Chains A and B, each alone.
Chain A
Amino acid sequence: MNKIFEIPLYPYTRSPDQDAQTPVRRKVVVVGAGPIGLAAAIDLAQQGIEAIVLDDNDKVSFGSRAICFAKRPLEILDRLGCGQEMVDKGVVWNLGKVFFGDRKVYEFNLLPEEGHRRPAFINLQQYYFEEYLVKRARALEAEGAPIELRGQNKVLDVTDKGDHTVLRISTPDGDYTLEADWLIACDGAGSPIRAMMGLDFVGRVFEDNFLIADVVMDADFPTERWFWFDPPFNKGQSALLHKQPDGVWRIDLQLGWDIDKEKEKKPENVIPRLRAMLGEDVTFDLEWVSIYTFQCRRMEKFRHNRVIFAGDSAHQVSPFGARGANSGLQDTDNLMWKLGLVIGGTAPETLLDSYDTERIHGADENILNSSRSTDFITPKSETSRIFRDAVLDLSEQYEFARPLVNSGRLSVPCTYDGSPLNTPDALPGGPARTRPGAPCPDAPLDNGYLLGDLGCRFTLLTVDADAPDTIDEAGITVPRLALSAADDATGALAARYLGDAKSAIYLVRPDQHVAARWDTYDETATRAAIRRATGQE
């Protein structure tokens, strides 16, 4: 049987655009069919906006890449129509163990908060994730949605023409030219488009190498995350063991800086290392072995007129904390409703500047978190190693030290505090977690979950408050979702949306972030908040 990463999923076929006398103009061209490009195109297609995806390859992601997907991206994927498949296939985990030297120092249970449709995290190979996205794109295409995947279409050159971009593309049949009203650059960390446009990508390179191996084994290791600091089988370094579906295990072994990558990657060097880690009697096969150096960096601006960067092309983090694909999905989730309103002529182009403000805020938060994890895992000085080891020693006996152990802070969505789209908080006693800018937390309802009912459009969520059934303002139709604290017997809805307030009204954006909130309905204020949230004020 062929492995899924060997099968062309979107093989090259000749497009009529290649035979056009004058270059064809497309609404949106997405460069890169990685997870972020595919998510971008699906989102647009669901809005009925034409999206052409170009990729220089025709298969899913190669090698060991993302495995850990957090709740927020799963919620986003629900709206893109592939959340269920991810969760069905993925491995749910809550337990972890931390080892220091030759001993286990403690174990933990993430104890996820109740009352959410989606688990806190799943583990799933990136190639499955991409496969589900491709399938979803194909299903939309079959329904007549304006989405197209073009494999083996390599972008050679882009030119900014002010109100559109011109792309030079190479294919197995030769080159062609295509025009795009909007270009979304999801061409990965090495982004050729970023380089073609001469744009910066600055940050920190961590002087360290990690051997990342995916091994297939029939071992009965439990479904837990095991992290070792300075283990006997990898002296002075760290190691991670994590389960994926299909009996595949992810192993990260820190190697240090001065190593011979080609040599370390050879099976005859990898296998003894893994034996020492897993035990002599465990049999396993290597699925993938790669060596990575990690970096934390971002572009200064993600939007460059009509070329907009999203995902790894815009920002890159070390993988401790699983923030790469997770945050990339939040990029497109943030961008696509805005782009939809701009393309539809409802909102001014300046609305897109809020993508920069909000997602740069998100990227900085991710970079900060993963830099801190990396500093804990790879102490940069003697003193930082002394403190790191002190934390680990203390953590064995004293609970207080465990929150200081940082082997990756798992990805949580960021709150867009200070965003120009927010209206100042007007819900006295309201919970901080649902303040303007915050992503809406899920809550169980009688027949389903809140986030499913919020959907992908502006919504006026009322909890024990009156308001009109719909409001039309500045080209935006906002339906009301009328709930009562009594709709959720567990009390989660009240705890998350009312706090100490008796009633609440939330203006929720299409990406399910809170734009504004009040205790009672005020028509003038609501209309102003809608204009503000869509950049029309």
Chain B
Amino acid sequence: MADLNLKPNLAQADDVYADLLAAHEGLSKEDSDALNARLILILANHIGDRAVLRAALDAAKSARPAG
């Protein structure tokens, strides 16, 4: 079972980020939310490992600024 990778892992980070923004371009808030949800589900299935997903959820939750 792989651990959650929180080190840089994207070769073309700027391109990937731009892809994300492009996918949401021109969408209403509602459609963007739906797209994000579909994306999360697709990625979760691809990862296919509950422990990694839980670690990712924890990492996402703890990354909020304090206060």
Contact = CB atoms under 8 A, between A and B. Distances in A.
Contacts of A108: none
Contacts of B34: 386, 389-390, 393
Contacts of A404: 41
Interface in B15-65: 33-34, 37-38, 40-42, 45
Interface residues of B, number: 8
B67 to A, nearest CB: 23
Interface string A369-394: 00000000000000000110111011
A486 interface: no
> Interface of chain B, helix or strand or loop or mixed?
helix
A387 B37 CA distance: 6
A390 B34 CA distance: 6
A394 B33 contact: no
Nearest to B39: A390
Contacts of A400: 42, 45
Contacts of B38: 390, 393-394
Contacts of A391: 41
Nearest to B33: A386
Indicate the size class of the contact surface on chain A. 10 to 19
B45 to A, nearest CB: 4
A389 B33 CA distance: 11
A391 B38 CA distance: 7
A474 interface: no
A397 to B, nearest CB: 10
A208 to B, nearest CB: 22
Nearest to A404: B41
A401 interface: yes
A386 B40 CA distance: 11
Contacts of A387: 37, 40-41
Contacts of A393: 34, 38
A398 B42 CA distance: 9
Interface string A389-430: 111011000101100100000000000000000000000000
Contacts of A394: 38, 41-42
Contacts of A389: 34, 37
Contacts of B45: 400-401
Nearest to A393: B38
A400 B38 CA distance: 12
Given A386-B37, A391-B41, 9 more contacts: A387-B41, A390-B34, A390-B38, A390-B40, A393-B34, A394-B41, A394-B42, A400-B45, A401-B45
7 contacts: A386-B37, A387-B37, A390-B34, A393-B34, A394-B42, A398-B42, A400-B45
The list of the 7 closest CB pairs from A to B, nearest first, reads A390-B37, A400-B45, A390-B38, A386-B37, A387-B37, A386-B33, A394-B38
